[in-house]
Structure 1
Amino acid sequence: MKRHYFVSDNLDQLQLVSTDLQQAGFTTPQIHVLSRNDAGISERRLNDVEAVLKKDVVRGTERGALVGVALASTVLVLAWVTGFSAHYTWVPSIFLAIVLLGFCTWEGGLIGIGKPHADFARFEPALRRGKHVMLVDTDPDQEQILDNIVAHAPGLRPAGTGEATPRAVVRFQDKWARFTEIAP
Structure 2
Amino acid sequence: MKQHHYMFDYLDDLQHACADLEEMGIEHRNLHVAHNSQLSLDKRHLNGMGYFHDNDMVHSALRGFLFGILVAACTAFLLSTWLGHLEVGFIVTGFVTLIMLGFSTWVGGLIGASHDNWRLAPYHDQLSAGKSVLIVDVDSEQEQMVTRMMSAMHREASHTGESPTGESPFEGGWHLREKEIKQVA
TM-score scaled by structure 2?
A: 0.78
CA contact (8 A) 2:150 2:157 kept: no
The answer for the alignment partner of 2:84 in structure 1 is 85
The answer for the alignment partner of 2:162 in structure 1 is 161
Distance 1:2 1:68 in 2: 29
Q: Which has the higher helix share?
A: 1
Change (3 A) 1:151 1:165: farther
AA at the equivalent of 2:137: D
AA at the equivalent of 2:88: T
Distance 2:166 2:78 in 1: 41
Asked if residue 148 in structure 1 is aligned to residue 153 in structure 2, the reply is no
Structure 1: gaps spanning 5 or more residues? 167-184
CA contact (8 A) 1:2 1:137 kept: yes
Alignment of 1:60-99 (within 5 A): 60-82=60-82, 84-87=83-86, 89-90=88-89, 91-99=91-99
TM-score scaled by structure 1?
A: 0.78
Change (3 A) 1:25 1:165: farther
Q: Which moved more, 1:41-50 or 1:138-147?
A: 138-147
CA contact (8 A) 1:55 1:117 kept: yes
Change (3 A) 1:51 1:130: same
Distance 2:120 2:97 in 1: 34
Change (3 A) 1:56 1:88: same
CA contact (8 A) 2:57 2:113 kept: yes
Q: What's the CA shift for 1:74?
A: 1.8
Change (3 A) 1:81 1:125: same
Distance 1:17 1:75 in 2: 53
Distance 1:49 1:5 in 2: 13
Alignment of 1:30-179 (within 5 A): 30-82=30-82, 84-87=83-86, 89-90=88-89, 91-142=91-142, 143-164=144-165
Distance 2:162 2:66 in 1: 29
CA contact (8 A) 2:3 2:138 kept: yes
Distance 1:3 1:47 in 2: 15
AA at the equivalent of 2:122: R
The answer for the alignment partner of 1:3 in structure 2 is 3
The answer for the alignment partner of 2:24 in structure 1 is 24
The superposition leaves residues 104-152 of structure 1 with CA deviations (integer Å, 9 ceiling, x where unpaired) of 1100111111221222211111111111001122334432354235533
CA contact (8 A) 2:8 2:133 kept: yes
The superposition leaves residues 65-124 of structure 1 with CA deviations (integer Å, 9 ceiling, x where unpaired) of 122222222222112223x23236223333222221111110011111122122221111
The answer for the alignment partner of 1:182 in structure 2 is none
Counting aligned pairs with the same residue, the percent is 28
CA contact (8 A) 2:3 2:162 kept: yes
Change (3 A) 1:97 1:161: closer
